[in-house]
């Protein structure tokens, strides 16, 4: 992907979507189902209103941080986003938190570095309107929200990371606990 710091976000996000075989708006305008792409595999997810609001900012985060649309990139961007600031609502949080635990298991060092980077950055979710951001340049917004490569971890960083990982495993385990509660009545 050939994205320059001098490009506007409008130009850059268009290149990002095209390079990842996504619709021009990332799928926000789709009424019922929206695609996500991962290593050439396209999966369609229900396009709830909470998801439509989060997608544009989430995709900008991918582009600005450089975390690509792959399993590794999704694990990293989830850790970065949880560390940098809260998701816009509880549904987005529950949808994305399992990625934190999966990343902690599958790419522990990269995941923790992404989390540290997020602890020293901020998300775009606090912006109420996506459109004005698109007139800024990639470089301008990166300077506003991203850290300057200080990845040394404090005890507070480690505690916060382990807390998010534990919460992730708790959310991942909920269906199993429900199944175990239902199981005795089934047999």
Asked, for residue 3, whether it belongs to a domain, the answer is no
Rounded distance between C-alpha atoms, residue 169 and residue 29, angstroms: 32
**For residue range 107-149, what is the model confidence (pLDDT) as tens digits?**
999 999 999 999 999 999 988 788 899 999 999 999 999 977 7
- The answer on pLDDT for 184 being more than 80 is no
Asked, for residue 157, whether it belongs to a domain, the answer is yes
**For residue range 140-156, what is the model confidence (pLDDT) as tens digits?**
999 999 977 777 899 99
pTM of the model: 0.85
Asked, for residue 4, whether it belongs to a domain, the answer is no
Asked, for residue 26, whether it belongs to a domain, the answer is yes
What does the pLDDT average to over 77-81? 96
Q: What is the CA radius of gyration of the chain?
A: 17
1 is written with which tokens? 């992907």
Does residue 96 come out as left (phi exceeding 0), alpha (psi in the -120 to 50 range) or beta? alpha
Judge whether 172 and 98 are in contact, CB under 8 Å: yes
162 is written with which tokens? 């382990």
pLDDT at 55: 85
Q: How many domains does the chain have?
A: 1
Asked, for residue 2, whether it belongs to a domain, the answer is no
> Domain range holding 72?
9-186
């Amino acid at each position: 992907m050939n994205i320059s710091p001098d490009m506007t976000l409008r130009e850059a996000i268009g290149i990002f979507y095209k390079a990842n075989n996504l619709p021009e708006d990332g799928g926000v305008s789709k009424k019922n189902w929206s695609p996500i792409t991962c290593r050439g595999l396209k999966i369609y997810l229900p396009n709830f209103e909470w998801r439509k609001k989060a997608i544009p900012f989430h995709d900008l985060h991918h582009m600005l941080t450089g975390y690509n649309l792959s399993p590794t990139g999704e694990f990293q961007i989830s850790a970065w986003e949880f560390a940098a600031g809260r998701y816009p609502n509880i549904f987005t949080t529950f949808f994305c938190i399992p990625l934190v635990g999966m990343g902690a298991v599958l790419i522990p060092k990269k995941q923790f570095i992404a989390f540290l980077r997020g602890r020293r950055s901020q998300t775009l979710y606090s912006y109420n309107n996506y459109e004005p951001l698109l007139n800024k340049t990639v470089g301008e917004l990166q300077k506003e929200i991203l850290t300057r490569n200080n990845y040394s971890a404090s005890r507070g960083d480690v505690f916060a990371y382990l807390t998010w990982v534990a919460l992730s495993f708790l959310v991942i385990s909920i269906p199993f606990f429900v199944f175990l509660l239902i199981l005795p009545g089934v047999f």
